[in-house]
A = this chain, B = another copy of it.
Amino acid sequence: MSENLNNNTKIPRVRVRNGVILVFFLCIGWQAAAQEDSLRLRALYDAALTRGKAYLNLYALCKEAPAAEKAVQLTARQLKEAGADSVWLQPVMVPKWTRGEVEKLSAEVDGKTLVFQACALGNSVGTKGVLKAKVVMVPNLDALKTMPRAAVEGRIVFFYQAPDPKHVDTFHAYGGCAGSRLYGADAAAEKGAVAVVLHSLTLAQHGHAHTGTLIYKQMAKAIPGMALSPIAAKALRTALTSHPDLELHMEMDCKNHGMVPSFNVIGERYGREKPDEWVVVGGHLDSWDNGEGAHDDGAGVVHAIETIHLFHTLKLRPRRSVRAVLFMNEENGAYGAHAYAEFAKRQKHIFALESDRGGFTPRGFTLETDTPEGKKALAKMQSWAPLFAPYLIHILSSGGSGVDVGKMRGQGCVLGGFIPDSQRYFDHHHAPTDAFESVHKRELELGSAAIASLVWLVAEHGWD
């Protein structure tokens, strides 16, 4: 269509000749710059795929540092070994919650005990002994809001809706259900419920329960929450069909212990021309206790460390400074992110990129574009599409960033998110299978290379 239009318009040659000449020389200059960038990206990819440290660093993080305190020491050391010019710890107070020893959900049906695979939701209060109550089935949070108090009072609310498999992007499927986990306990307590249980926020059909935070606005009214494995959720639905009055027995001794000191871990590589302007690349150090947090967010952590490592290995020093920020406590309040955002107000940040969607094959990046600087940055990033095409990076679009860098919103910094393939992420998310073995070496390395490439381009060229 546009081709026909051009044919009809018969653009007079003379009128554009100067423009053409200008364009020609601009093109020559652009081509030289583009070729340099092209070689730079190739070098980053080659180094990541042949001399990368991301996979070994992830192994150590998953197997040698299961607790947050150890992870702080380990990753600070990894950043030093990666060649960071400076490594420092930013103190931050974070909430401490423990799962405890007991985690049981069962029912007596026809004289038999049915045991349902289930786990405490993060932040949940315990049950103080065995909590026994009948169940009310509710598809989701919205449905609960329309229900009369009488239907809910004294019962355990069972949010039975599984994420919708029709979404191609599994984050949309997750987003469609996450409200039940985050706010379900509060909403149920408002109507007199004594606890909530829910279908794990996963599209997998397996026997693992997936934890994740719930948020109490009113601790005085806090009721316990558990997630059922997809198979257990199906079993409970079946049991409730034949025995709608069955009584669930819930027992958990999880506890909130108040605030304890911790740290964000920060590694820096100074810029060669504008060392006071910062590009942040980050992931989060904390992970749920029931797995190793390999994809969530060990991958993001080693992606960030690897950016420093690849620049150091290739002796790359872009114009602006690069800071790998390993945020503490993304899962349970994002106190680390709040602390970093507060600190960041005192410095010029032009870009903050978050990797918190796993260590899978990279598909691209999204930028938040509801600010003028975001819109301008998107156009610039899209102009780099030919540089990324050989690496099958095809998403360079408007979209979200992440929970951690999102805390810098409104500070004039462009915010972005790394987008890997999403199909397997929620199989492991917040579950015991989120272990080192679920991460693929090359996929992780390609992620490091893609991230280091974008960080290079922004730190070198800026958004103008």
Q: How far is the CB of A172 from chain B (nearest CB, A)?
A: 11
Provide the residues of chain B in CB contact with A441, threshold 8 Å.
205
Provide the residues of chain B in CB contact with A391, threshold 8 Å.
168
| Contact between A423 and B394, CB atoms less than 8 A apart | no
Provide the residues of chain B in CB contact with A9, threshold 8 Å.
9, 11-12, 15-16
A binding-site residues for B, Cβ under 8 Å: 1, 4-5, 8-12, 15-16, 19-20, 23, 26-27, 45-46, 49-50, 165-166, 168-170, 203, 205, 361, 363, 390-392, 394-395, 421, 423-424, 427, 440-443, 446
Q: Given B23, B26, B45, B168, which contacts A392 in the complex, CB threshold below 8 Å?
A: B168
Q: Given B166, B169, B205, which contacts A46 in the complex, CB threshold below 8 Å?
A: B166
Q: Given B26, B165, B390, which contacts A50 in the complex, CB threshold below 8 Å?
A: B165
Q: How far is the CB of A385 from chain B (nearest CB, A)?
A: 11
Report the bound CA distance from A9 to B9 in whole Å. Answer: 10
Report the bound CA distance from A244 to B391 in whole Å. Answer: 40
Provide the residues of chain B in CB contact with A5, threshold 8 Å.
16, 19-20, 23
Given known pairs A1-B26, A27-B1, A361-B423, the reply for A165 and B19 (CB within 8 Å) is no
| Contact between B168 and A390, CB atoms less than 8 A apart | yes
Q: How far is the CB of A186 from chain B (nearest CB, A)?
A: 32
The residue among A23, A168, A424 with the most chain B CB atoms within 10 A of its own CB is A168
Q: How far is the CB of A54 from chain B (nearest CB, A)?
A: 13
User: Who on chain B is nearest to A424 by CB?
Assistant: B440
Report the bound CA distance from A437 to B114 in whole Å. Answer: 28
Q: How far is the CB of A439 from chain B (nearest CB, A)?
A: 12
Report the bound CA distance from A11 to B9 in whole Å. Answer: 7
Please give me the 9 A-B residue pairs with the lowest Cβ-Cβ distance, nearest first. A394-B394, A8-B19, A49-B165, A9-B11, A46-B166, A423-B443, A423-B442, A361-B421, A361-B423
Q: How far is the CB of A399 from chain B (nearest CB, A)?
A: 13
Provide the residues of chain B in CB contact with A8, threshold 8 Å.
15-16, 19
User: Who on chain B is nearest to A168 by CB?
Assistant: B391
Q: Can you pick out 11 interface pairs between chain A and chain B where the beta carbons lie within 8 Å of each other? A: A1-B23, A1-B26, A5-B20, A9-B16, A46-B166, A168-B446, A170-B442, A205-B441, A392-B394, A394-B394, A423-B440
Report the bound CA distance from A81 to B27 in whole Å. Answer: 59
Given known pairs A8-B16, A16-B9, A423-B361, the reply for A442 and B165 (CB within 8 Å) is yes
Report the bound CA distance from A390 to B167 in whole Å. Answer: 10
Provide the residues of chain B in CB contact with A443, threshold 8 Å.
423-424
Provide the residues of chain B in CB contact with A15, threshold 8 Å.
8-10
Report the bound CA distance from A363 to B360 in whole Å. Answer: 14
User: Who on chain B is nearest to A419 by CB?
Assistant: B392
Report the bound CA distance from A240 to B21 in whole Å. Answer: 62
Report the bound CA distance from A278 to B390 in whole Å. Answer: 34
User: Who on chain B is nearest to A30 by CB?
Assistant: B1
User: Who on chain B is nearest to A6 by CB?
Assistant: B11
Provide the residues of chain B in CB contact with A421, threshold 8 Å.
361, 421
Report the bound CA distance from A27 to B20 in whole Å. Answer: 31
Provide the residues of chain B in CB contact with A203, threshold 8 Å.
442
| Contact between B168 and A45, CB atoms less than 8 A apart | yes
Report the bound CA distance from A23 to B394 in whole Å. Answer: 30
Q: How far is the CB of A191 from chain B (nearest CB, A)?
A: 32
Q: How far is the CB of A21 from chain B (nearest CB, A)?
A: 12
Q: How far is the CB of A454 from chain B (nearest CB, A)?
A: 16
Q: How far is the CB of A49 from chain B (nearest CB, A)?
A: 5
Report the bound CA distance from A278 to B446 in whole Å. Answer: 40
Provide the residues of chain B in CB contact with A424, threshold 8 Å.
440, 443
Provide the residues of chain B in CB contact with A45, threshold 8 Å.
166, 168
Provide the residues of chain B in CB contact with A46, threshold 8 Å.
166
User: Who on chain B is nearest to A27 by CB?
Assistant: B1
User: Who on chain B is nearest to A394 by CB?
Assistant: B394
Report the bound CA distance from A317 to B388 in whole Å. Answer: 40
Q: How far is the CB of A32 from chain B (nearest CB, A)?
A: 15
Provide the residues of chain B in CB contact with A363, threshold 8 Å.
392
Q: How far is the CB of A181 from chain B (nearest CB, A)?
A: 21
Report the bound CA distance from A394 to B26 in whole Å. Answer: 30
Provide the residues of chain B in CB contact with A169, threshold 8 Å.
392
Report the bound CA distance from A45 to B11 in whole Å. Answer: 44
Q: How far is the CB of A173 from chain B (nearest CB, A)?
A: 10
